[in-house]
Amino acid sequence: MGSTIRIIQYGIGPIGAAIVRLITKKENAEIVGAIDIDPAKAGQDLARVVGLEKDLGVVVSNNAEEVLRIPADIVVHSTASYLTDVQDQLTRCLAAGHNVVSSCEELSYPLRKYPEISRTLDDVAKQSGVTLHGTGVNPGFVMDKLALTLSSVCQSVERVSVTRIVDASKRRQPLQKKVGAGMSEKEFRAQVEAGRIKHHGLPESAGLIADGMNIEVDEIAETIEPVIATGDVTTEYLEVKRGEVAGVRQICKGTLRGEEKLHLELQMYVGAHDPADTVRIIGMPDLTLLIPGGTHGDLATVAAVVNAIPAVVQAQPGLKTVADIPVRYYGVF
Amino acid sequence: MGSTIRIIQYGIGPIGAAIVRLITKKENAEIVGAIDIDPAKAGQDLARVVGLEKDLGVVVSNNAEEVLRIPADIVVHSTASYLTDVQDQLTRCLAAGHNVVSSCEELSYPLRKYPEISRTLDDVAKQSGVTLHGTGVNPGFVMDKLALTLSSVCQSVERVSVTRIVDASKRRQPLQKKVGAGMSEKEFRAQVEAGRIKHHGLPESAGLIADGMNIEVDEIAETIEPVIATGDVTTEYLEVKRGEVAGVRQICKGTLRGEEKLHLELQMYVGAHDPADTVRIIGMPDLTLLIPGGTHGDLATVAAVVNAIPAVVQAQPGLKTVADIPVRYYGVF
């Protein structure tokens, strides 16, 4: 791209911190501001907060309004999963004249669930002449962008299915707990009921595919079921006995008059034998695409967000989804 | 998209004819003109020429200038593989104010081989406020767009390799002959020398990856070798005896100071056992992507060109590559 891209980091949790570390490796990128509401982070140099040795010369602030006055090309936003929780944050960024790329799952495709908020955000972005974009690995890549890209060599598409099998044993402790590993089935179902066991983004991916490829569906619905351990599993962090919950199997279906058109399935459990991402298109021609081992969740989400920066800076104003934006790795911004 | 896309078809060979047949299945697309220099085609209804029953009400003309005066949104161009052979045709289309999507292999990424022609075409397109784009399955998808898309979930990329293995037994007779099936090794090498056995597009894909991901290479070079049959092979069209040439193995390497950074390998031969497209990225993380069976060449090229139409019509003016344009199947234009 040539000139340096000036970046404000909004949200410095585990993903935000990894984003910052990756950005600091880029030649033509400079972090000019950092926002986090955590009192333990505000006032410190950003480097300290994200675990880098050399000072970045950027002090983390909990005053978003102040930081957003800094001249910048883009805000990298990573604070929460629900659009309603971040709508005001995003609006403030856009109104301040900044492009935004966010890891907020519901922002990846808000048009179906939140048509009015989508319109409002699109309007604000266009009025400010900037772009708003949500991405990540899932949603953002495995269950939507990859399937959309594969479909470009199809003359017709009848049905799409994507299965992502993640071996939770190899992931962070919070993820192992989040999928319910070690719980009884009853406890698991109570946690699902309470909304605590749930991966965000499957309906968003379904919407991206349905609307992107013009596959008519009259219902998009999700189910969340436990995967029961068929043997004992021991990970670095916990033990799961045979018969206990090993993890989660979440399925999102898009149907038309009861007929399945889209099938998105996420299995995340400890001890998964054949982790892989698989995209199948039934059409002309039928196509299957495999990523053996699967795309690593955290690494890939951070990469997807950072790699989106140059494309979002260059994109036309408005709310843009992964269907609108070409994606690739940029060695140099 | 809503309103009907008006299309002029330029070139009605096997690919052009298949493009026309696919376009006629689209609700919001209308073919308003057709150009071919073949005297056997000119003057006939386009439907006859492409093998459709119902008249399309479009007469094929060999007068490009005249047809290009018809108001249209895009020209779909499919006449030849070398950019120097089609430069004038493309310039005429652009100057007439038409967007262009073309299956010309060298147009997929002309910036390295033809920097001046690229600049000129980009200028003409921008002056006319239209977009020029080259695509297909290879180049255009397997060895470039797919790898670029996969790389978007990588934090770093060191090397990229793509292998495409095509079982030529299942393809058209001209393709089986084109890969040298049934030749002696001597005859094969003479045909390679004469430029008659050669798949176009590997250096273009290498350029797309190198420049798209900012992977530094100081040389991009190709080799073309025979694949020798290890047993007798009989296809619908020909017989290959053990020891004769079964097909071609074409390798394009991108190197930096002798070190391999890009490896693009195309194997097309009769009797190939495990046809597949495989993309490997060495980086953080390492990733492998497989399409077992491989992406069908002709079907996919036609699909890639037709599916590019809505995106090219909407794209910013200028010469745009698959790195710039988001791709997907469009059920409805």
CATH code of the domain in which B63 resides: 3.40.50.720
Q: Does residue A184 share a domain with residue A155?
A: yes
pLDDT at site B172: 83
Residue B2, pLDDT > 90, answer no
Question: From CA B209, how far away is CA A312, in angstroms rounded?
Answer: 20
Q: Does residue B252 share a domain with residue B127?
A: no
Q: Does residue B132 share a domain with residue B76?
A: yes
> Residues B145-177: pLDDT tens digits?
999 999 999 999 999 999 999 999 988 888 888
Question: From CA B47, how far away is CA A129, in angstroms rounded?
Answer: 46
Q: Does residue B280 share a domain with residue B157?
A: yes
Which CATH number goes with the domain that contains B211? 3.30.360
Instruction: Give A239→chain B minimum CA distance, Å.
Output: 28
Tell me which long-range contacts B232-236 makes (C-beta under 8 A, separation of at least 24).
B233/B169, B233/B181, B233/B270, B233/B271, B235/B168, B235/B169, B235/B176, B235/B181, B235/B270, B236/B169, B236/B173
The answer for residues whose C-beta is within 8 angstroms of residue B196's C-beta and 6 or more apart is none
State the count of interchain CB pairs (< 8 A) between A and B: 149
> Residues A216-235: pLDDT tens digits?
999 999 999 999 999 999 99
B276 touches chain A (CB under 8 A): no
Mean pLDDT of B311-326: 97
Mean pLDDT of chain B: 96
Q: Does residue B106 share a domain with residue B162?
A: no
> Residues A94-134: pLDDT tens digits?
999 999 999 999 999 999 999 999 999 999 999 999 999 99
Mean pLDDT of A148-168: 98
ipTM score of complex:
0.97
Q: Is residue A327 part of a domain?
A: no
pLDDT at site A2: 59
Q: Which of A148, A283, A289 has its CB closest to that of B289?
A: A289
Number of domains in chain A: 2
> Residues A181-202: pLDDT tens digits?
999 999 999 999 999 999 999 9
Question: From CA B277, how far away is CA B117, in angstroms rounded?
Answer: 32
Would you tell me which residues 130-169 of chain A have a C-beta closer than 8 angstroms to some C-beta of chain B? 137, 141, 145-146, 148-157
Residue A263, pLDDT > 60, answer yes
Q: Which residue of A has its CA nearest to B309?
A: A152
A101 touches chain B (CB under 8 A): no
Residue B255, pLDDT > 70, answer yes
Question: From CA A271, how far away is CA A245, in angstroms rounded?
Answer: 11
Q: Does residue A162 share a domain with residue A291?
A: yes
Question: From CA B311, how far away is CA B325, in angstroms rounded?
Answer: 7
A331 touches chain B (CB under 8 A): yes
Q: Does residue A291 share a domain with residue A160?
A: yes
Q: Structure tokens of A306?
A: 């950072």
Q: Does residue A166 share a domain with residue A106?
A: no
Q: Is residue A287 part of a domain?
A: yes
> Residue A91 — very low, low, confident or very high, per pLDDT cuts 50/70/90?
very high
Q: Does residue B76 share a domain with residue B27?
A: yes
Q: Is residue A332 part of a domain?
A: no
**In chain B, what percentage of residues exceed pLDDT 70?**
99
Q: Does residue B312 share a domain with residue B204?
A: no
Q: Is residue A330 part of a domain?
A: no
Question: From CA B276, how far away is CA A292, in angstroms rounded?
Answer: 14
Question: From CA B225, how far away is CA B215, in angstroms rounded?
Answer: 26
Q: Does residue A226 share a domain with residue A193?
A: yes
pLDDT at site A286: 97
The answer for residues whose C-beta is within 8 angstroms of residue A253's C-beta and 6 or more apart is A206, A219, A220, A221, A222, A260, A262, A263, A264
pLDDT at site A298: 86
Q: Is residue A278 part of a domain?
A: yes
DSSP three-state, residue B74: strand
pLDDT at site B173: 86
**In chain B, what percentage of residues exceed pLDDT 90?**
95
Residue B35, pLDDT > 60, answer yes
Q: Structure tokens of A222?
A: 């999700």
Residue B303, pLDDT > 60, answer yes
A15 touches chain B (CB under 8 A): no
Closest CA to B146 of B257, B280, B13, B41: B280
Q: Does residue B281 share a domain with residue B161?
A: yes
Instruction: Give B299→chain A minimum CA distance, Å.
Output: 7
**What is chain A's Cα-based Rg?**
20
Q: Is residue B332 part of a domain?
A: no
Cβ B207 vs Cβ B112: under 8 Å: yes
Question: From CA A312, how far away is CA A186, in angstroms rounded?
Answer: 44
Mean pLDDT of B81-98: 98
pLDDT at site B227: 98
Q: Is residue B103 part of a domain?
A: yes
pLDDT at site B3: 86
Mean pLDDT of A15-43: 97
Which structural domain, as residue segments, surrounds residue A268? 145-295
Q: Is residue B331 part of a domain?
A: no
> Residues B220-245: pLDDT tens digits?
999 999 999 999 999 999 999 999 99
pLDDT at site A210: 98
Q: Which residue of B has its CA nearest to A298?
A: B153
